[in-house]
Amino acid sequence: MARKETITVDRILETAFAMTREEGFANVTARKVAARAGCSTQPIFRTYKNMEELWSAVYLKAISFFQDYYGLYPRTGKAPFANLGMAYIAFAREEKHLFELLFLTGGTQGGVELSEDQKKSMYEILNGAGGNVVYEINLARVQGCANPGDIFMKMWIFIHGAACMTLTGDYDLSDLETMVLLEHAYNAFAGRNIGEHPYGDDRDADQGEEHGKTV
Amino acid sequence: MARKETITVDRILETAFAMTREEGFANVTARKVAARAGCSTQPIFRTYKNMEELWSAVYLKAISFFQDYYGLYPRTGKAPFANLGMAYIAFAREEKHLFELLFLTGGTQGGVELSEDQKKSMYEILNGAGGNVVYEINLARVQGCANPGDIFMKMWIFIHGAACMTLTGDYDLSDLETMVLLEHAYNAFAGRNIGEHPYGDDRDADQGEEHGKTV
DNA sequence: CAAGTAAAATAACAAGTGTTATATCATAGA
DNA sequence: TCTATGATATAACACTTGTTATTTTACTTG
């Protein structure tokens, strides 16, 4: 009765998502998506009412992509928050554009802006990935922290900081170093010292430039 | 001999910088700057070869703006890194667009991209603000840390994380709370416990959702 | 095979961008 | 006062964006 559909919703969304991963949200324009999908812009506006709907779909796909990524990330760490941190930081390193979209700009990127109810907070996204945040807090409690929520906040600030710094190239530690760093941080926040930071009068440290002005 | 100059370089740069503060780098377009400066686009291209040069000038102005901001920020904290952190986090809260430009995207924002040698790392920017980073590291050493560089890295990750989270609205503590948080973090990393995180079997904490799936 | 119908392609519109050619204007020097 | 000169304004070019009207194409059904 009519011509057969050749360009599907999936194909368009997959294309737009792949472009987001590789080039960032801002490069997902109607013509660029069409060119990469090998069609005109028309099928896009047949399957999506407008570009905003496509962007929204890409954003939602990015969320579930992260949740899968997080769910499948190997759990090799012993300390609470270590696996959470490892996965989050690895995601920032390997999926810079998706990380930026989800956790840095919160759905606002390069002129493209999602509506308020489309955006999700990092906590919503994380908790959607299997309720791990809650689990981490409980694990911290089980392991004897008086205030696991407080530790979670501190650890989360720390983890988020390291992840953000990977984007600008200011954090570039290996997985192993990151794991050690996360364990140190947890132990420090939990009040457990592991002999790594004895305080006394040791002045043999390497960093040695002289004086500055004010604090 | 000729018509008097009415639209100066300063006026254009000031306008573009004000727009960056208020609306972000991506909104600094030739026509928008001209409209706000009350002239046509022509004076812009007389004083700057092209928009890239203007953007570069805005970026440099943002750097020195931050350095002034940092230099003038009141020093009320006692712990090392507390004042650095307070100023940095306050800057992120009060100058979101400038913070984003300088420390999040590193000169890349909304299609506008600065050349590699124009961009500066956060360490360059910070050290330009009076060599305070070096001073902080030395202060940490004086106060008896075996590895002040290591503590600096950890504190910096922590401070940067809190600042980044202010942009997405995930960090919203008061100045006082932030100060306490920074002091706790420093003491934790330095191996000094202050009785805030005793570990034992205390399970009276407030956060209480149940179980998750995996770590 | 012919007809109808929906999908896809083409082309266009309006708005925005950087940039430049042209025209206007105001002022300093003759 | 007139003129030259450089600073502005105007207008246009070429390009990109989202979106839509129109045309072409291919396939299903009678």
Q: Inform me whether the C-beta atom of residue B26 falls under 8 Å from chain A C-beta atoms.
A: yes
How many Å does it take to go from CA A1 to C1' C2?
A: 13
- Helices B82-94, B175-190: axis angle to 10 degrees equals 140
Per the CB < 8 Å rule, is A131 touching B213?
Answer: yes
Q: Inform me whether the C-beta atom of residue B122 falls under 8 Å from chain A C-beta atoms.
A: yes
- What is the pLDDT at residue B120? 85
Closest in B141, B202, B215 to A146, CB measured: B202
User: Which residue lies nearest C21, CA-to-C1' measured?
Assistant: B42
Q: Inform me whether the C-beta atom of residue B159 falls under 8 Å from chain A C-beta atoms.
A: yes
At B126, the amino acid letter reads L
Query: Could you tell me the mean pLDDT of each successive run of 10 residues in chain A, 215 residues long?
Result: 91 98 96 98 98 96 95 91 95 96 80 75 81 71 77 94 94 95 94 48 36 35
How many Å does it take to go from CA A51 to C1' C2?
A: 39
Per the CB < 8 Å rule, is B121 touching A170?
Answer: yes
Q: Inform me whether the C-beta atom of residue A180 falls under 8 Å from chain B C-beta atoms.
A: no
A137 contacts in chain B (CB < 8 Å): 207, 209
Residues contacting nucleic strand D by the 7 Å CB criterion are: A 1-4, 28-32, 41-42, 45, 50-52; B 1-8, 38-43, 46
The confidence band for B110, taking pLDDT boundaries of 50, 70 and 90, is low
Q: What is the pLDDT of residues A107-123, one digit of tens each?
A: 677 667 777 777 888 88
Q: What is the pLDDT of residues B156-168, one digit of tens each?
A: 999 999 999 999 8
How many Å does it take to go from CA B46 to C1' C23?
A: 17
Q: Inform me whether the C-beta atom of residue B172 falls under 8 Å from chain A C-beta atoms.
A: no
Q: Which residues contact B153 (CB under 8 A, 6 or more apart)?
A: none
Q: What is the pLDDT of residues B40-68, one digit of tens each?
A: 999 999 999 999 999 999 999 999 999 99
- What is the pLDDT at residue A51? 97
A67: three-class secondary structure by DSSP: helix
B145 contacts in chain A (CB < 8 Å): 197, 199, 202, 205
A:B CB pairs within 8 Å = 236
Q: Give B41-110 as a DSSP string.
A: SHHHHHHSSSHHHHHHHHHHHHHHHHHHHHHHS-----STTHHHHHHHHHHHHH-HHHHIIIIISSSEET
Protein footprint on strand D: which nucleotides are under 7 Å from a CB? 4-11, 16-22, 25-29
Alpha-carbon gap, residue B154 to A196, rounded angstroms: 13
Residue B87 token pair:
């100023």
User: Quick check: B198 pLDDT over 60?
Assistant: no
Among the ranges given (A108-112, A199-203, B34-38, B192-196), the one the predictor scored with the smallest mean pLDDT: A199-203
- What is the pLDDT at residue B147? 80
Neighbours of B113 (CB within 10 A): 15
User: Quick check: B197 pLDDT over 50?
Assistant: no
Q: What is the pLDDT of residues B118-133, one digit of tens each?
A: 788 888 888 887 656 7
Per the CB < 8 Å rule, is B191 touching A190?
Answer: no
Protein footprint on strand C: which nucleotides are under 7 Å from a CB? 4-11, 16-22, 25-29
User: Quick check: B114 pLDDT over 90?
Assistant: no
Per the CB < 8 Å rule, is A165 touching B165?
Answer: no
- The more confidently predicted of residues A195 and B193 is B193
Q: Inform me whether the C-beta atom of residue A10 falls under 8 Å from chain B C-beta atoms.
A: no
Alpha-carbon gap, residue B27 to B19, rounded angstroms: 7
Look at residues B167, B52, B109 and name the one whose alpha carbon lies nearest to residue A26: B109
- What is the pLDDT at residue B142? 73
The confidence band for B107, taking pLDDT boundaries of 50, 70 and 90, is low
B192 contacts in chain A (CB < 8 Å): 199
A204 contacts in chain B (CB < 8 Å): 146
The confidence band for B13, taking pLDDT boundaries of 50, 70 and 90, is very high
User: Quick check: B210 pLDDT over 70?
Assistant: no
Q: Which residues contact A10 (CB under 8 A, 6 or more apart)?
A: none
Look at residues A133, A83, A189, A190 and name the one whose alpha carbon lies nearest to residue B209: A133
Interface probe, candidates A32, A67, A72, A214, chain B, greatest B C-beta count within 10 A: A214
At A39, the amino acid letter reads C
Closest in B147, B152, B165 to A160, CB measured: B165
Q: What is the mean pLDDT of chain B?
A: 85
Classify residue A169 by its DSSP letter.
T
Q: Which residues contact A4 (CB under 8 A, 6 or more apart)?
A: none
Alpha-carbon gap, residue A30 to B209, rounded angstroms: 44
